[in-house]
Amino acid sequence: MIDDLKTHGAIVDTRKSVIRDGNIITANGPAAIDSFAEEIVSAVVEQYEIVPSYWNGL
């Protein structure tokens, strides 16, 4: 599958557990759930310019 993606011009980096390209966020398996969730929260915060109260100090 990775070879097929590369053949069609995709840049594949399997060293990272979470990849974000604009509004597309992907993760590499269940072990990446925490990083994936953090990236989704970051994307929403950036999009809507909000800062959740629990975000303070992070």
pLDDT, tens digit, 9 for 90 and up, residues 4-21: 988 998 878 888 999 998
Q: Give the integer Cα–Cα distance in Å for 10 and 41.
A: 25
* Residue 24 scores a pLDDT above 80: yes
**CB-CB neighbours of 39 under 10 Å:** 18
| Whole-angstrom distance, CA of residue 41 vs CA of residue 3 | 31
The pTM score is: 0.65
